[in-house]
Amino acid sequence: MHNQTLSNKIKILIVDDNRLIRHLLRLTLTDSRIELFEADCGEKALPIITDQNPDYVILDVMMPGELNGFQICEMVKSWKDTQNCKIIMLTASSQQEDFEIGQKSGADYYLTKPFSPKELLSIIDLSDL
């Protein structure tokens, strides 16, 4: 089900305005089977999503700019070419309302900060590479 090209790598886009969180995610996802992309806001993420068609998007909920993570998730899930992309919402909020909004927007997974790198890695399927 992966959107692999000739490289046979899983494509993962990290979208978070916090540089340190992006760095931690990069360290967690350092694997020769993974091709990483990064954006610090939703507006920068959209062209990467349409150009690269990632297998996973790790998406912060609250970011600067016009689009929050829920809106990006809803857009990605509504587009034919990207609807199978797995969305992992990453947020500091553990409120039930946020989980429900995430589900309604189409999120596949929901992790709260601080997150467990092991939990994140258990979500990403590298088994068929």
User: Where do the domains of the chain lie?
Assistant: 10-118
DSSP H or E stretch at residue 59: strand 56-60
For the segment 61-102, what is each residue's pLDDT rounded down to a tens digit? 988 889 999 999 999 999 999 999 999 998 877 677 776 777
Computed over every residue of the chain, the mean pLDDT equals: 88
Tell me the two tokens of residue 51.
């150009």
Cα 80–Cα 30–Cα 125 angle in degrees, nearest 5: 45
DSSP H or E stretch at residue 11: strand 10-15
User: What is the structure's pLDDT at 107?
Assistant: 93
What's the whole-model pTM score?
0.89
For the segment 98-116, what is each residue's pLDDT rounded down to a tens digit? 767 777 889 999 988 888 8
What CATH number matches the domain at 10-118, 3.40.50.2300, 3.30.300.180, 3.40.50.720, 2.60.120.10? Answer: 3.40.50.2300
The answer to whether the Cα torsion of 48, 41, 56, 120 is positive or negative is: positive
